[in-house]
Amino acid sequence: MAGGLSLYAEGSSFLHRAHPLTKGVLMLSAVALAFIAPSVGWVIAILLLLLALVTAAGVLRRLLTVALAILLPLTLLLLAVQGFANVNNRTEAFALGPIVYYREGLAIAALAALRIACLVCATFLFSFTTRPADIAEALMQRGLSPRMGYVVQAALQIIPQTLDTAGRIQDAQRARGLETEGSLPRRARAYLPLMLPLVLSSLVATQERAMALEVRGFGLAVKRVARFDFADNTYQRVLRWLLAVAVPGAIVARVVGWR
């Protein structure tokens, strides 16, 4: 059966132990700053900082495996499209026969690719060091309603569960002779016998789970008890505030002339 949508990698680094909100603010601020920063130099600095944190968390190899699969094709596409076809292209870098590659496009593509690399690194740094259940728990401890907390947690689990159910339905239909592979029309014909039981079983499961939740007292009007206390301290609180303030600060700096 499917395990869940968690990318969490077991570990005991300071990032694993840090408060989920600290890591969440770090992720959001890093991404925002990477997109606000005006030049390649600043974005590289943010990327290097993120890579240092990834290394400290002991998840660099894991990040490279996942990130390269995303970033490599994206970067090549950006380099090709911007270098050859950006409307602001003026200065020739090199020519491939009649096709000219431009420096302006290269600079734009490099900046965009580095920003996306920051986004990917920050997101995976957060995902690799934070369990989804901890995110919801931390938010509920900060005032998110238990119902919304449940929605957050359940949403992170539902995709692999649905894929698992779809796989079992597909196996069952194949066992009854349904052709699910081959040409496009053949696969299209197999779509309905697969989707109908999936939708119906999901509806039934949803109804049963709603009942089961009531039977376990979900929604009872009682004061919620925290499942566990996250390690938090003054340094983390100060860091969260600094990171949060850095974003509007960077926006103001850009407006007043940060180049």
The helix-helix angle for 103-129 and 40-56 (nearest 10°) equals 30
Choice between 56 and 205, CB closer to another protein? 205
Query: Which one of residues 94, 191, 218, 241 is an interface residue with another protein (CB under 8 A)?
Result: 218
* Part in contact with another protein (CB under 8 A); list of ranges 21-29, 47-55, 99-107, 206-214: 206-214
246 vs 226: CA distance, rounded Å: 31
Work out whether 227 is an interface residue with another protein (CB under 8 A).
Answer: yes
Quickly count: other Cβ atoms within 10 Å of residue 176's Cβ.
7
- Nearest partner of 180 among 205, 162, 198, judged by Cα: 198
Q: How far is the CB of 39 from another protein (least distance, A)?
A: 41
Work out whether 20 is an interface residue with another protein (CB under 8 A).
Answer: no
190 vs 170: CA distance, rounded Å: 9
Alpha-carbon torsion, ordered 182, 185, 186, 187, to 10 deg: 80
Choice between 2 and 49, CB closer to another protein? 2
User: Judged by CB under 8 A, how many residues of this single chain contact another protein?
Assistant: 39
* Part in contact with another protein (CB under 8 A); list of ranges 16-24, 79-87, 99-107, 223-231: 223-231
Q: Is residue 112 within 8 Å of residue 78, measured between CB atoms?
A: yes
Joined together, the tokens standing for residue 35 give 């997109």
Work out whether 162 is an interface residue with another protein (CB under 8 A).
Answer: no
The contact set with another protein (CB under 8 A) reads: 1-4, 6, 131-133, 136, 146, 150, 153-154, 157-158, 160-161, 164, 205, 208-220, 222-228
